[in-house]
Structure 1
Amino acid sequence: MALRSTPPTMSFSTMFLVLFWLFPSSQSLHYDAIFSFGDSLSDTGNVQVAGLPYGMTFFGRPTGRCSNGRLVIDFIAEAVGLPLLPASSTTKGNSFRQGANFAYTAATALDFDFFNRRGLGGKLWVNASLSSQIGWFEKTMPSLCSSTSACKNYFGRSLFVVGEFGGNDYNTAIFAGRSMAEVNSYVPIVIRAIRLGVERLVGHGAVDILVPGMLPIGCFPVYLTLYGSSNKNDYTGIGCLRKYNDLAMHHNALLRRAIYGLQRKHSGTRIRYADYYNPALGFAADPAKYGFTGGALKACCGATGSGEYNVNPHKVCAQPGSSVCGDPTTHVSWDGSHLTEAAYLLIARGWLGGPDAKPSILSSSAAPLPLPPLALTMKQLPLLIFLLPPLFLLSCSQRYNAIFSFGDSLSDTGNVVIAGLPYGMTFFGRATGRCSNGRLVIDFIAEATGLPLLPPSTAKGQSFAQGANFACTAATTLDFDFFYHRNLSGGLWVNASLSQQIGWFEQMLPSLCGQTRECNDYLGTSLFVVGEFGGNDYTTPIFAGRSMWEVYTFVPRVVQAIAHGVELDRCILWSSESNMCLLCSCLSQRLIGHGAVDLVVPGMLPIGCFPVYLTLYATSNPSDYSSIGCLRKFNDLTSYHNSLLQAALYQLQIKYPSTRIRYGNYYTPAIQYVAYPSKYGFSGGGLKACCGAAGSGKYNVNLKAMCAKAGSSVCSDPDTYVSWDGIHLTEAAYRLIADGWLNGPYANPPIVS
């Protein structure tokens, strides 16, 4: 039924209430209290482990904080106008009315029994698990609120910080000499304990919950000293130990997924991940940029001059023989396993204002506002719809008028046709240019939104009114000149960078819409998928034999180019004088400038799990491989790219609040398929190519018998394999990834949310 064109009647007060509900203040509301749970990263005095110089910078005395001054939890309290949290074991009664800190130094997520059953009970310093801490909180509750409804109101206006947890669960096993395989097996159990703890708090009325991840423990001076290696491959490009950072990333990836599931389950809450890992990794990668002239991998307090990291287990901070640096603000690490106040301040800023907590603590109201007592009639509905901002409308499932896709072989539907059958065998029965046995993620997205499969932009006599695909196999993000200046242009297969693809889109625009307003309306109801980009920018130098250090220098430029293919209309392509890709400041932004409001920007797949990489760069050193058999250095590169990309997208979303710019996660689901192939129906495994040289080595890859070439063969059931041809995935794998983007948890918000 058509809505009436006559404006409905609504009182000013009613309109005000509607607007108040729809547009909560962008400033943080006042929290009544903060309740904190965790370990030494947030303990403010429950465990007094050492004297001065702990506490020297801010308090002038030791307080139980494992730093020279304040912790992240202190800066949060200050920012929201509350006093520093008292330790729960030191203050009684009503003094907890504005919050309490239940965190204990050396606390674990898991209970004592878990470790005792594994012969590790004697390695625990304290018996203060997450479950125990929440139990202490529950004992405090009667002194804070008198009834269930009173508690729900009070806790609904409080902030809960649950963590960091996990570090000590893993340290306990690592320091006891257990294998990394055993330690990694703890991760899902730890994540489950955190999830259950959060659910328990939600049951008591908590609605605003921050759940921090782990720091990059492979960058801790203590780890670098205790587990130093003569094998340079054990270290990342910035000098951290790979296997411990891999553990932290594994933990953080599963934690993010669990938090997303909790948020969907408890829609009236705000449960969000707080990132310790990426800011701390940024400090380690470029300490001078953040003012850490003393470096990131040396302890300020410890055994100065003792080895590369100022750490000696016999002269730890505050013990005889130890010393403290002249200016702790110039160091990232305080005592080798905790950070300085200066580092915690920077991390706190990222949580309070973004981009390291999403949404940031100060970004909006402390909790979802309840619906005011309004009775909107059908006559009032049109005005309500008129008042709704674009972002709110986008939170509902909608029909897109069109989809426009940009990318490389992960999304090319026919602009570059490089091979015949068996490519396309499963769904199309013929080769279409898709680098798989059937459909790609972009195809499943089109089907799910009720649109036809996207025609390649080069198709003749084709209507593009419902979308077009500009993706080209082997496309790079950066332009030809970037590679030419590095003597790498001979390794490019096509000249079809992101900038050029957007240029082709701009050439097509006049045939799609006329006036600017018409284009804004049309493109505003279209979906833009910008990527995957980056893979070919990195494979070009890798296949040319360049060092991983050089490849890493490409990442910020590639990410900046992607993040900006989304605002400006004109760009300088290259400056040989500054040796910088200035194209990077203009790409992603061009699309928004034309009217795009709904964009998905995918990250990279874990290329270290690709059968082609595993064949070409095989090594006899087991430490070069992750626990699931992938090459660490290539997956580290991918993780670095994805981390920078997510941070860039978050900044774009802040800059353009009326758009919906979200990350499409290829990495995490693909890692899961490799780690647990049978769980997802991939009985053929995660690391063998379906189409290639069957029986040729461990991975069915032989460069002289690649898929569709002479001497190659194809598996009998591609649906049982993750990898199609050693570089690209099967239709079955793409279908699962697409489902994660469409419905969650691998795009946030999901496309059809």
Structure 2
Amino acid sequence: MAKQLIIMLLPLLLLLFILSEVVEGTKKSYGVYDKNSVKLFVFGDSYADTGNFMGSPSYKQPYGITFPGKPAGRFSDGRVLTDYIASFLKIKTPTPYALRNSSTLQNGINFAYGGTGVFQTLTNGPNMTVQIDSLEKLIKQNVYTKQDLQSSVALVVNSGNDYTAFLVNNRSITEIKSFTTSLINQLSINVQRIHNLGINKVAIGLLEPIGCLPEITLVTFHLSCVDLLNLVSEDHNKLLLQTVLQLNQQQVGKSVYVTLDLYNAFLSTIKTMQKKHDENSTLMNPLKSCCEGDGLTNTCGKVDDNGEKKYSLCEKPKLSFFWDNVHPSQNGWHAVYTLLQSSLHQLNYR
């Protein structure tokens, strides 16, 4: 009887085996697709880079001393904006594009590269257009598929390298408004292209108050921000907000583009920390960098020919807002992230 039962069940078992192989094969055909997992694709510069700029100081001491405990390619003592947004989406930080062959791509990929801009600001660094090209190549290679992208989020963060390059190239400050227009126009083209590749949520960072960066507040002895330069950020953000509004109006029944107000998040945090510093001078001045170099030049992480450090560290990095002369510390980014959460809820697919 038992033998007859086994013979009768054999066709059924064979069918189940075949079906399981078909289903497994179907899963494999969808690249890294996982219907339960949001993926994060990151474009931009050092405010979002988690390890793409291999030859930079971000891979040298003392970067990374707070997290992960050693230099790992982040321009900070610890976590940066990308890490916090990934944690908000309940995924691990996406793999840097430079490390794509040695790590999982399940959580997305980070194309951001320190020092780059919307336009070409580094001789060898991939600007935003090239970064998007890299994603398009991965899609064509079926590394990511339509299903992957539909439930994904794109983060776009450019922290002002375009403006630095503009001024360094000896252009007149009076031309900056026309430059802002051309910059926002190109940024608009870029974010639309990201959406057209299949990503339905695109978060775009507003420009931080560049007049508050330690390399700028040096002229005020780190006592206050330089309002004239903050006006550049304000004009940039005003035009960007208008552009994003127009882009969303072109969408039918959905809001694709979300702005992250880095400008006011930075200012609010700095003002709060300044007040505490005024009340207790032992606390860190938020307009000073923790890892100090020689003024305008960022020498954090650098040594001279004799191996002597060309920088000094503050006593408590975890109490600082800026890590070096342009980049927030982990503490700074955490404070900014906390203020961005109301906007981030528009990205959450869960």
TM range (shorter): 0.7 to 0.9
Could you tell me whether the CA contact under 8 Å between 1:328 and 1:334 is conserved in 2? Answer: yes
How many Å apart are 1:84 and its aligned residue? Answer: 1.3
- Pairing 1:34-433 to 2, within 5 Å after superposition: 34-48=40-54, 49-50=56-57, 51-92=60-101, 95-110=104-119, 112=120, 124-144=122-142, 150-151=145-146, 153-164=147-158, 167-225=160-218, 228=219, 239-267=224-252, 268-287=254-273, 293-303=283-293, 311-313=294-296, 316-319=299-302, 320-351=309-340, 353-354=341-342, 360-362=343-345, 365-366=348-349
Task: Please state how far the C-alpha of 1:284 moved relative to its aligned partner.
Answer: 2.5
- 1:40 maps to a residue whose letter is S
Whether the 8 Å contact between 2:290 and 2:314 is mirrored in structure 1 is yes
In structure 2, C-alpha distance between the alignment counterparts of 1:315 and 1:40, rounded to whole Å? 13
Mapped contact 1:208–1:366 kept (Cα < 8 A)? no
**Contact 1:315 1:321 survives alignment (8 Å):** no
Alignment CA distance shift 1:106-1:290 (3 Å):
farther
Distance in 1 (CA, whole Å) between partners of 2:288 and 2:142 is: 44
Amino acid at match of 1:77: A
Give 1:154 shift. 2.1
Aligned pairs for 1:458-497 (under 5 A) are none
C-alpha separation between the residues in 1 aligned to 2:125 and 2:103? 26
| Alpha-carbon distance, 1:205 to partner | 1.2
Task: Kindly state the Cα deviation for residue 191 of structure 1 after the two structures are TM-superposed.
Answer: 0.6
Q: Residue 30 of structure 1 contacts residue 366 of structure 1 at CA under 8 Å; is this kept in 2?
A: no
Query: How do 1:330-729 residues align onto structure 2 when only pairs under 5 Å count?
Result: 330-351=319-340, 353-354=341-342, 360-362=343-345, 365-366=348-349
CA distance in 2, matches of 1:107, 1:101: 14
Select the structure that is richer in helix: 2
CA distance in 1, matches of 2:297, 2:104: 40
Provide the C-alpha distance between the structure 1 equivalents of 2:151 and 2:45, rounded to a whole number of angstroms: 24
Q: Structure 2 counterpart of 1:301, which letter?
A: C
Question: Secondary structure of the residue that 1:63 maps to in structure 2?
Answer: coil
Structure 2, unaligned stretches of length 5 or more? 1-34, 303-308
Shift in alpha-carbon separation, 1:100–1:272, aligned structure 2, 3 A = same
Aligned counterparts of 2:37 and 2:336: Cα–Cα separation in 1:
20
Distance 2:72 2:90 in 1: 21
Change (3 A) 1:365 1:124: closer
Flag the 1:69–1:125 CA change in 2: closer, same or farther, 3 A: farther
CA distance in structure 1 between the aligned counterparts of 2:315 and 2:44, rounded to whole angstroms = 30
Q: 1:54 and 1:223, CA in 2 relative to 1: closer, same or farther beyond 3 A?
A: same
- The 3 A distance-change label for structure 1 pair 161 and 142 is same
Supply the distance in 2 between the matched residues of 1:204 and 1:290 (Cα, whole angstroms): 46
Q: Is the 8 A contact 2:38 2:89 kept in 1?
A: no
Give the AA of the match of 1:213: L
1:389-411: CA deviation from partner (whole Å, max 9, x where unpaired): xxxxxxxxxxxxxxxxxxxxxxx
Please state whether the residue corresponding to 1:197 is helix, strand or coil. Answer: helix
- Tell me how far apart the structure 2 counterparts of residues 201 and 315 of structure 1 sit (CA, whole Å): 32
Select the structure with the greater relative contact order (CA < 8 A; seq sep ≥ 6).
Answer: 2
Give 1:163's aligned amino acid.
V
Contact 2:46 2:113 (C-alpha < 8 Å) held by counterparts: yes
One-letter amino acid of the structure 1 residue matched with residue 131 of structure 2: Q
Match of 1:443 in 2: none
Amino acid at match of 2:89: V
Give 1:33 deviation, angstroms.
0.6
- Cα distance, 1:364 vs structure 2: 7.0
TM-aligned CA distance change 1:280 to 1:170, over 3 Å: same
Secondary structure in structure 2 of the residue aligned to 1:70: coil
Once the two structures are TM-superposed, the CA of residue 37 in structure 1 deviates from its matched residue by: 0.2
SS at match of 1:35: strand
Shift of 1:198: 1.1
Normalised by the length of structure 2, the TM-score is 0.79
Distance 1:278 1:84, change over 3 A: same
- What is the rounded CA distance, in whole Å, between the counterparts of 2:196 and 2:316 in structure 1? 45
Which has the higher Rg, Structure 1 or Structure 2? Answer: 1
What is the alpha-carbon distance in structure 2 between the residues aligned to residue 282 and residue 126 of structure 1? 35
CA 1:259–1:243 in structure 2 vs 1: closer, same or farther (change >3 Å)? Answer: same
Superposed displacement of residue 366, structure 1: 2.6
Q: 1:94 to 1:294 in 2, by over 3 A?
A: closer
Cα distance change, pair 315–142 in 1 and its aligned pair in 2 (3 A) = closer
Q: In 2, Cα distance between the equivalents of 1:258 and 1:290?
A: 37
Q: For residues 161 and 30 of structure 1, what CA distance do their matches in structure 2 show?
A: 20
Report how far residue 312 of structure 1 moved. 2.4
How many residue pairs align between the two structures? Answer: 302
- Which whole-Å CA distance do the structure 2 matches of 1:344 and 1:264 have between them? 31
> Percent of counterpart pairs with the same letter?
25
CA gap 1:193/1:334 in 2 versus in 1, 3 angstroms: same
State the shift of 1:128 in Å.
1.4
Change in 2 beyond 3 A, CA 1:170/1:93: same
State the shift of 1:100 in Å: 0.3
Q: Distance in 1 between matches of 2:336 and 2:117?
A: 22
Q: From the superposition, tell whether residues 364 and 155 of structure 1 become closer, same or farther in structure 2 (CA, over 3 Å).
A: closer
> 1: CA distance between counterparts of 2:205 and 2:297?
31
Distance between the aligned counterparts of 1:323 and 1:94, measured in 2? 34
- 1:177 deviates by 3.9
Give the Cα separation in 2 of the matches to 1:244 and 1:208: 31
Cα distance in 2 for residues equivalent to 1:349 and 1:259: 23
Deviations 1:627-659 (A, max 9, x none): xxxxxxxxxxxxxxxxxxxxxxxxxxxxxxxxx
Deviation at 1:125, TM superposition (A): 4.8
CA displacement at 1:210 relative to structure 2: 0.3
1:199 aligns to what SS in structure 2?
A: helix
- Report the residue type matching 2:320 in the other structure: H
TM-score where L is the length of structure 1: 0.38
- SS of 1:262's equivalent? helix
1:241 partner amino acid: V
Q: What's the counterpart of residue 3 of structure 2?
A: none
User: Is there any run of 5+ residues in structure 1 with no aligned partner, and where?
Assistant: 1-28, 113-122, 304-310, 355-359, 368-753
- SS of the equivalent of 1:89 reads helix
CA distance in 2, matches of 1:327, 1:102: 31
Aligned residues of 1:162 and 1:210 also touching (Cα < 8 A): yes
- Taking the aligned partners of 1:363 and 1:102, their CA distance within structure 2 comes to 22
Change in 2 beyond 3 A, CA 1:139/1:314: closer
